A and B are shown apart, each in its own frame.
Chain A
Amino acid sequence: MTFRGGRRALAALVALALVVVGGLAWLLWPSEPRVHGQDVAIPVVDGPADDQRVTLDATFYPPASGGRAPAVLLAHGFGGSKDDLRDEAARLAGHGYAVLTWSARGFGRSTGEIALNSPDYEVKDVRQLVDWLARRPEVRLDGNGDPRVGVAGGSYGGAIALMAAAYDDRIDAIAPQITWYDLADALFPESTGQGPEQGVFKKMWAGLFFGAGGSTSPFGGPIGSAAGFAGGSTGGSTGPAPGGPAPTARQVQCGRFLPEICEMYQTVAKTGRATPEAVKLLRASSPVSVPGQIRIPTLLVQGQRDSLFPLGQADANARVIAATGAPVEVMWMGGGHDGGGDDADSDWVRERVTAWLDRWLKDSPVPGVEAGRASDAGAGAAAPGIRGPDVFTVSRDGGRDAGTRRPVVVHATGTAYPGLYGATRSQLRISGPDQEIANPPGGSPTSVSAVPGLGSLLGGAAAGSGMAMDVPGQSAVFESAPLSRPLHVTGTPMVRIKVYGTGEVTLFAKLYDAGGGRPVLPSNLVAPLRVAATEKGTEATVTLPAIDRSFAAGHRLRLVLTTTDLGYATPTAPAVYRVGLAEDALTIPSDASLATPATGPGWWTWALPLAAIVIATGLLLTGRRRTAAAEDGAPDGIPLRVTGLTKRYRNGEKAVDDLSFQVEKGQVLGLLGPNGAGKTTTLRMMMGLIHPDEGEIHIFGRRVVPGAPVLSRLGSFVEGPGFLPHLTGRANLELYWQATGRPSRDAHLEEALEIAGLGSALDRAVRTYSQGMRQRLAIAQAMLGLPDLLVLDEPTNGLDPPQIAEMREVLKAYAEGGRTVIVSSHLLGEVEQTCSHVVVMRRGRLMFHGSVGDLLGVRSPSDGPGPRLEDAFLDLIGENR
């Protein structure tokens, strides 16, 4: 068996090699080199008169690739600091960028006060950061003092990216996320187009926003990529003067805000109305104030679950920037300031931002900004649409992953950005009578849609939708008929309503998906509006929140108008109005061209089973051995011929060693030998159960291999009986014979049963049999079909003397019929009386082969009374003293 041992060793070696190679690959796999940032304090001068000295706390991450690389400025979210961006910065530096993160003035360990991304303050700071980058030896330059640089950031950081791009021509590409176009409009939204001065104050978000400027941040930002409204962040959490004197009254009130911003907020928060001054101040910090000045490639990522900066903000940015001819792409990702984003979605956004920077900072031979500047001459012409491959991407719910049971996000892409009014618009009939609704005194209780700051705690869409709640008596409901087929809304649905009453009315419009269970308010968004109501009714066109949602067939679209919302400042005076529909129709925007890439089963779904079939075929073909020669040898009449038979144990010791003998027809051969002589091994090889290492066995001229047909002429009983214990003796024999597939008339079952002599026990389960009964049944089984060669291993074990005598006669008679019997035994007397010929084995070797008479004659001891087999045997095997 050395061959087999060798194979085992080889297999073990291969396995070991695989483990070692796998381990090394694990250890040495090229991971992104660890990048360490260098903390730097960058002094800047800003203010309207350029007279305020501020020290910005920054960290510079040199590019891991070495040499001069494009630079990226990463800006943090409101309430955060540069520390939030460490991982992202290290990742980008590892990707071959020189990255600079900084805490904006008023945040972290930077000095100065928060000016809300004002052109006089934060924008000037960023310009000086760009100057600083231009002096670094690691940064690639487009010209003297003009580094190749992009800006990315989320929310507050996204706004500074836009504002800096407007004021600094050296910036080459930006990727602002979940940020604003018009901060005044974001905080004082109005959905009939009357502008922020008529807007409804978004008091909860504003409170969080301005509260975060003072001390700790309640913001939790599930914000991908460079974004970060990172909550509870390190630097900003300790207030303006850590370890310093106790805060003054003004500091308590205004935190680290610039005084004029603090005053503005206190005014608007008290009245709930935007003053012209407030609008002017907020707009100065907004891209709306710099139309046409952002002319560089811009990737706008906005969250679908964002009641602070909804999709409309990104839409406005996209339109204004695209109007300059600059390349623009728009992505609507899953989360936003209300949370609910998916990790996989965030990863995907991060990849897209990196790809965007690569495209315009690394790959572009000339600065990407050229694309925008080149069209300066033609500016003022009709704004080019936002077109191109994948310019518009929407993250959609892709159900649940079948394996992990987790939500899956799919990304639908389009080659044109349709804007919020959709690529196509359709009308959907909705109806409902005019309804009286009341504004509660004190503005309480209120309807609930989104709860700012809680969204991320409550997580997914299911939890969020559970929050949306309308107070009876404060809400009017209008519904469509059940949809006959699914309706996909992408953009802002519009509706014309009519309000009857007197004076100014504040309303909130919501569009629910009313289906089987609880109605769902998509993304928990509402559209606030003000109408100057008249007794004969004032019509207003309401732009409902921008959403991307598929309304299932059978569901209804439900428009709800309420007088209150938790997140907004509403009038405190009690009042009753009547509201109704001016037109019985919703205008539904949609974009059928948005296509989700086929998310069918991966390539491996087909490849894996095919590969398995190939491997399996290989295994079976290469494993085929010792069966090809099944028909070896010409049939002849020699019942058994053993030639050079050798079988080794696993340790190499020979169980059977070069054994050769031949048995003729009509002989009863005794196979003799002490324990371990190799008798049973020889018999097993005779049955094709084990493979000889060398030599051959021929039965009636046919070589014995596993399953050789000639074995059907062999009846065997080797090493004890083998029966199905749950079956009766008779059933065992019958089923055994049926398993041979031979005709039942050939079985000679009755003759065999007679030999077994079991009587009525035949119909009991074999498990109840004694050892002797099983033995006899097994011999009967071996004799089924009266085989030409019968091999019996210790047939008289467990038989009583009369049965032994009977068995002796049976075997003799069996051989006299021209058949051949081989009996192995250790009972020498038995052999002497039964057998005509003997084979004596010792330690696998043949010691004697001949007739019993020969054995006795040749080996007869000289002094004994007569020849005894026992003496001859002991003499032969060398045990006789």
Chain B
Amino acid sequence: MSVNGNPAAPGYAPGYAPGRTLSLRVEFVRQLRRRRTKAMFGLLLALPWILVVAFQFGPGPAGQGNTLRLSDLATQGGLNFAAFALSVSASFLLVVAVALFCGDTVASEADWSSLRYLLAAPVPRDRLLRQKLIVAMGYSAAAVTVLPLMALVAGTLAFGWNDIQVPGTGETIPAADALPRFAVVVGYALVSQFVVASMAFLLSVSTDSPLGAVGGAVGLVIVSSILQAVEALGSIREFLPTFWNNAWTDALTPDPDYSGMIKGVAVSVTYSVILIAVAFRRFRAKDVVS
């Protein structure tokens, strides 16, 4: 038999190091070239322009009722338009985008059977999940950011760079003041999607069906939104994952109130930390049979 410590037979192949497997760049490229990635970003980038066209050619605001809604004010300027675009997309489109990037990432590898070859490469399981999570979160962040930014560009080109006008009272906030707050809004919109992201990610490691993972995460949001409408639940609803999703509107008032957003961040972080921990724990012990 061979000799222990034979240089020709070390414990691993020459040049192999667990810490170098599945680098972020590789994973990024693997995902980037996918059609759904391109299609989703195409949609997110096109939506503001579609909205601009809709506002340009649609009939003017009816002006019924005496309270100004965000949609009535969308054409006031770029910032207003971006806030409107975010408000109409945050509850569903961005949820789907985030669920897609995070829910698809592991499940699609399982679906393609490429997961087992990555694991046998070997990419250590924790590392595989970590890299995939980082890249999926990166794509999600890009999705959540790119829409309001494109809306800001589209809105500014179409309606001008004006001060933001607040729904309800119609007060205005100077654009210079509103811009940093707008960054807070986008950041908050991102954090509030963490629950969707981590739920999708957990489902992604639990199933071989990418559709199942994405649909499951979106379903969670739908169920949570329905429960949120049940007034009888009282303050329990504050702990629903979607309850604070619109709290960012508080930042775009003359007297910004961040308490709702802080609560929203707390709830979101709480859920996502636990869900992601469960995802890692499951994946670590999982028998990969796909």
* A interface with B by C-beta (< 8 Å): 399-405, 462, 466, 516-517, 599-602, 604-606, 608-609, 611-613, 615-617, 619-620, 622-627, 631, 634-638, 665, 684, 687-691, 700-702, 706-714, 716, 718-727, 731, 735-736, 738-743, 746, 781, 785, 787-788
Binds A, one of B3-11, B142-150, B176-184: B3-11
Query: Cβ of A736: which chain B residues have Cβ within 8 Å of it?
Result: 117-118, 121
B35 closest partner in A (C-beta): A726
Type the 1/0 row for B256-270, where 1 means its CB is closer than 8 Å to any CB of A: 010111111011011
Chain B: CB-nearest residue to A602: B263
Across the two chains, which residue of chain B brings its CB closest to A731?
B33
Q: A626-B285, A707-B119, A736-B121 are in contact. Are A637 and B18 (CB under 8 A)?
A: no
> Besides A636-B4, A684-B289, A727-B30, 20 other CB < 8 A contacts?
A608-B266, A608-B267, A609-B269, A613-B273, A620-B280, A626-B285, A635-B4, A689-B120, A707-B127, A712-B16, A722-B113, A723-B112, A724-B33, A726-B35, A731-B33, A736-B118, A738-B23, A739-B27, A739-B121, A741-B23
| Residue B90 is within 8 A (CB to CB) of chain A in the complex | no
Contact A619/B266 with A624-B284, A636-B9 known, Cβ cut-off 8 Å: no
B-side interface residues toward A, CB under 8 Å?
A: 1-6, 8-23, 26-27, 29-30, 33-35, 66-67, 109, 112-127, 169-172, 237-238, 243-244, 246-247, 250, 255, 257, 259-264, 266-267, 269-271, 273-274, 276-278, 280-282, 284-285, 287-289
Residues of A within 8 A of B115 (CB): 722
Query: Which B residue's beta carbon lies closest to that of A745?
Result: B15
Q: Closest residue of chain A to B13, judged by CB?
A: A712
Which residues on B sit within 8 Å (CB–CB) of A625?
284-285
Assess whether A742 is in contact with B15, with CB atoms less than 8 Å apart. Answer: yes
Given A616-B274, A741-B23, are A722 and B116 also a contact pair (CB < 8 Å)? yes
Which residue in B35, B119, B274 is a CB contact (below 8 Å) of A706?
A: B119
A708 to B13, CA, bound (A): 11
Give B19 Cβ to nearest chain A Cβ, in Å.
8
* Distance A612 CA – B172 CA, assembled complex (angstroms): 40
Complex: how many Å from CA A399 to CA B251? Answer: 13
Residues of A within 8 A of B6 (CB): 635-637
Question: How far apart sit A403 and B273, CA to CA, in the bound complex (Å)?
Answer: 22
The answer to whether A722 and B114 have CB atoms under 8 Å apart is yes
Q: Are A616 and B276 in contact (CB under 8 A)?
A: yes
Nearest residue (CB) in A for B247 is A402
Q: A609-B269, A687-B119 are in contact. Are A402 and B278 (CB under 8 A)?
A: no
B263:A741 contact, CB within 8 angstroms = no
CB <8 Å contact, B277 and A619: yes
Chain B residues whose C-beta falls within 8 Å of the C-beta of A602 in the assembled complex: 263
- Asked if A635 and B259 make an inter-chain contact with CB atoms under 8 angstroms apart, the answer reads no
Q: Which residue of A lies closest to B131 (CB)?
A: A739
Q: Is the CB of B23 within 8 A of A636?
A: no
B221 CB to nearest chain A CB (Å): 16
Q: Does the CB pair A718–B12 fall under 8 Å?
A: no
Across the interface, A746 reaches (CB within 8 A) one of B14, B30, B255, namely B14
User: In angstroms, how far is the closest chain A Cβ from the Cβ of B243?
Assistant: 5
Shortest 4 CB-CB contacts between residues of A and residues of B: A402-B260, A637-B2, A741-B20, A722-B113
Q: List 10 A-B contacts (CB under 8 A).
A: A517-B169, A609-B270, A616-B276, A617-B277, A700-B9, A706-B119, A709-B122, A712-B16, A722-B116, A741-B23
In-complex Cβ contact of A712 among B33, B122, B170, B238 (8 A): B122
Establish whether residues A739 and B266, one from each chain, have CB atoms under 8 Å apart when the complex forms: no
CA distance A98 to B26 in the complex (A): 77
- Partner of B120 from A401, A711, A720 at Cβ < 8 Å: A711
B33 lies within 8 A of A727 (CB): yes
Closest chain B CB from A606 CB (angstroms): 7
A700 B11 Cβ-Cβ under 8 A: yes
Chain A residues lying within 8 Å of B264, measured Cβ to Cβ, are 402
Interface centre among B10, B109, B273 (most CB of A within 10 A): B273
Contact among A615, A688, A709 with B16 in the assembled complex (CB-CB below 8 Å): A709
CA distance A631 to B261 in the complex (A): 47
The answer to whether A726 touches B9 (Cβ under 8 A) is no
Contact B259 A516 (CB under 8 A): no
> Which residues of A are found within 8 Å of B18, using beta-carbon distances?
707, 709, 741
* Cα separation A71 to B246 with both chains bound (whole Å): 48
Point out the residues of chain B lying under 8 angstroms from A722, CB to CB: 109, 112-117
B70 CB to nearest A CB, Å: 12
The answer to whether A665 touches B2, judged by C-beta atoms less than 8 angstroms apart, is yes
Known A-B contacts A727-B33, A735-B29, A736-B117; the reply to A712 vs B247 at CB < 8 A is no
Query: Assuming the A-B contacts A608-B270, A736-B121, are A634 and B113 also in contact, with contact meaning beta carbons closer than 8 angstroms in the complex?
Result: no
Contact of A635 with B289 at beta-carbon distance under 8 Å, contacts A687-B120, A741-B21, A742-B16 already known: no
With A402-B263, A619-B278, A746-B14 as known contacts, state yes or no: A690 contacts B289, CB within 8 Å.
yes
Main secondary structure of the interface of A (DSSP, over half): loop
Interface contact A605-B266, CB-CB below 8 Å: yes
Q: Which of A462, A620, A665, A723 has the most CB of B within 10 A?
A: A620
B280 partner, pick from A623, A631, A688, A713, beta carbons under 8 A: A623
Q: A403–B120 contact, CB under 8 A?
A: no
What residues of chain A lie closer than 8 Å to B270, measured between beta carbons?
608-609, 611-612
Residues in A with CB closer than 8 Å to B114 are: 722-724
For A699, give the chain B residue with the smallest CB separation.
Answer: B11
The docked-state distance in angstroms from the alpha carbon of A625 to that of B126 is 12
Query: In the complex the two chains form, what is the Cα distance from A762 to B143 in whole Å?
Result: 32
Partner of B12 from the list A622, A636, A713 (CB cut-off 8 Å) is A713
Residue of A nearest to B254 (CB): A552
Question: Using Cβ atoms and an 8 Å threshold, which residues of chain A touch B22?
Answer: 739, 741
Residues from chain A with a CB closer than 8 A to the CB of B123 are 707, 739-740
Neighbouring B residues of A622 by C-beta, 8 Å: 281
Docked CA distance A788–B277 (Å): 36
Instruction: Tell me which residues across on chain B come within 8 A of A623, comparing CB atoms.
Output: 280-282, 284-285
Write the nearest CB–CB distance from B37 to chain A, whole angstroms.
Answer: 9
| Given A517-B171, A691-B285: A707 and B124 interface contact (C-beta under 8 Å) | yes
**Known: A466-B66, A739-B21. Is A709-B15 also a contact (CB below 8 A)?**
no
**A2 nearest CB across to chain B (Å):** 14
**How far, in Å, is B230 (CB) from chain A's closest CB?**
12
Structural contact, B1 and A637, CB atoms closer than 8 A: yes
Q: Write the nearest CB–CB distance from A720 to chain B, whole angstroms.
A: 6
Q: How far apart are the CA atoms of A631 and B12 in the complex, in Å? A: 11
Bound complex: CA A751 to CA B172 (Å)? 68
Residues on A with beta carbons closer than 8 Å to the beta carbon of B14: 742, 746
Of A609, A727, A742, the residue contacting B13 (CB under 8 A) is: A742
Would A403 and B260 count as touching, CB distance under 8 A? yes
Evaluate contact between A708 and B122: CB separation under 8 angstroms.
yes
Query: A726 and B20 in contact (CB under 8 A), knowing A689-B289, A706-B125?
Result: no
Bound complex: CA of A707 vs CA of B5, how far in Å?
21
Q: Which residue of A lies closest to B257 (CB)?
A: A399
Contact yes or no, A713 B277, CB < 8 A: no
Q: Which residues of A contact B284 (CB under 8 A)?
A: 623-625, 627, 706
User: What is the minimal beta-carbon distance from B36 to any residue of chain A, in angstroms?
Assistant: 9
Residues of A within 8 A of B12 (CB): 709-710, 712-713
Q: Which residues of chain B are within 8 angstroms of A723 by Cβ–Cβ distance?
A: 112, 114
Give every chain A residue within 8 A of B250 (Cβ-Cβ). Answer: 400, 402
Task: List, in ascending order, chain A residues with CB within 8 A of B3's CB.
Answer: 636-637
Check A403 against B263 for contact (C-beta < 8 Å).
Answer: yes
Q: For A399, A635, A723, A736, which residue has the most chain B Cβ atoms within 10 angstroms? A: A635
Residues of B contacting A399 in the complex (Cβ-Cβ under 8 angstroms): 255, 257
Q: Are A712 and B121 in contact, CB atoms less than 8 angstroms apart? A: yes
Q: Assess A743 versus B271: contact at CB under 8 Å? Given A402-B260, A687-B119.
A: no
A718 vs B120: C-alpha distance when bound (angstroms): 10
A617 to B121, CA, bound (A): 28
Residues of A within 8 A of B125 (CB): 706-707
Which chain B residues lie closer than 8 Å to A400 at the CB level?
A: 250
Q: Which B residues touch A403, using CB under 8 A?
A: 237-238, 243-244, 247, 260, 263
